Amino acid sequence: MKGKPMLILVSCLLLACGTDKGDEIQSQLPNIVFIFTDDLGYGDLGCFGATDIATPNIDRIAAEGIKFTSFLSASPVCSPSRAGLLTGRMPQRMGINAVFFPESLSGMDPEEITIAEILKEKGYRTGIVGKWHLGHLEKFLPLNQGFDEYFGIPYSNDMASVVYMRDNEVEEYKVDQRYTTRTYTEESLKFIDSVDDQPFYLYLAHNMPHVPIYASPEFEGTSNRGLYGDVIQEIDWSVGEILKKLEEKGILENTLIVFSSDNGPWLVMEDHGGSAGALREGKQFTFEGGVRVPTVAMWKGKIEPGQVYEDPATQMDWFPTFCRMVGAEVPQDREIDGKDLSAVLFENGSREGDTFLYYMLSSQEGYREGDWKIKRPYAGYAGSRGMKKVDAHDTLLFNLKTDPGETTNLMKENPEKTAQMMRAMELAVKQLGPLPESKVIRTPPDNSHYEYLESKKKPKN
């Protein structure tokens, strides 16, 4: 029940023609539920080693499916990681290097092809519940990127003007974030119930546990890690409600469920910021704690239970994987950086390729090849209210197989390996070709009028 059924399914999809046969094949297409959290750390789930937060439903996905222990996000910050997930492309190819704000007049170009657009062409009902964060002007919103329905907060929940939008309109200006996870769960269940005779794609993108964190009253005080743990346990409850709904409708065995995070934990937020477990650093940094994210997937009867995949895979891989699953052609008019994970999921096989370029914003900072990772010299950061202090460092070389926590720099004792990795990184960057300029996220206000008034107060010589 591993590789062969999937290959047979894809072959049938590719050969289908005619209305009757097309309808028959459409009924065989799997549903896809992708659950995306915001700033969840590698050390925040039971199946990844957390002992102070109970996550039985997420752990169930790992036990009845596959756990990825070296799954890499496209970026250590929000908007670029989401762009990479939805398009299968490095966000740098789209000029999406930073985070969009409510005052941003830009967003992900409508010309980008999202997985929702691919699936919609195959007859899927497509819905997003939760955080979008790829531009809030109408032309950048989900309904112009292949989604049939949208409900949620269009950017991060710590930004100005937090609102609930439905489709392209603001539905609620006053958002009680204590109930956001519950509200998203209810909207997701309604979406699943609303779909009858067609396959569906549900993209549930939680705002939590991005700060400010909130849990509904029923979950406050339920964990052994304070409010942050309560928030994660409510997210786990939400996962359980979705699994229960799929079981009640008798469609669990025809549904692929993926659970992941956009990037690592926001460690500067201390006990409100999550844990990277044994990994180094977190969000905003290209050490593993910022980019390696907890990821699990299940599809009963298709993915063999209890698998653990330790080689690198990326958030961008879901795009070509979903294309393969539904018999859709991967776009040929642009670079798609993700690799098809079908062999990993359904055949106990391996992913093609083992390299990865690490970017923070537009700064290319590191490179992975197999078990080895090299990082460029870093000038250090003094720390601020929103970003953790990190010391300067010289070139770093790690073997992630033996040292996932990046504790021991092997550069001096491996000069040849260091040189080889540096050459490989430079070649990989060169092969990207010219990249577009970073999108303008926002521009500063002109405060010269205030400066003028202040200057009048200064004593004249």
What are 404's two structure tokens?
């996932």
Classify residue 315 as left (phi > 0), alpha (psi -120 to 50) or beta. Answer: alpha
CA angle 151–157–158, rounded 5-degree value? 160
Q: How far is the C-alpha of 437 from the C-alpha of 109, rounded, in Å? A: 13
Active site residue 136: no
Q: How far is the C-alpha of 90 from the C-alpha of 85, rounded, in Å? A: 9
Tokens 């290097």 found at? 97
Q: At residue 158, what is the residue type? A: D
Q: How far is the C-alpha of 325 from the C-alpha of 5, rounded, in Å? A: 11
Active site residue 133: yes
CA angle 447–450–454, rounded 5-degree value? 140
Q: How far is the C-alpha of 108 from the C-alpha of 319, rounded, in Å? A: 16
Beta strand residue intervals within 321-371, DSSP E? 355-360, 363-369
Q: How far is the C-alpha of 421 from the C-alpha of 445, rounded, in Å? A: 43
Tell which residue, 287, 347, 317, has the closest CA to residue 6.
347
Identified catalytic residue from 12, 47, 133, 393:
133
Contact 455, 448 (CB under 8 A): no
Q: At residue 14, what is the residue type? A: L
Q: At residue 438, what is the residue type? A: S
Q: How far is the C-alpha of 360 from the C-alpha of 362, rounded, in Å? A: 6
Identified catalytic residue from 47, 78, 210, 272:
78
Q: Return the exposure string of 111-122: e unless at least 16 CB atoms fall within 10 Å of the residue's CB, then b.
A: ebbbbbbbbbeb
**DSSP of 274-311:** ---TTSS--TTSSSHHHHB--EEEE-TTTSPTTEEE-S
Catalytic residues: 78, 133
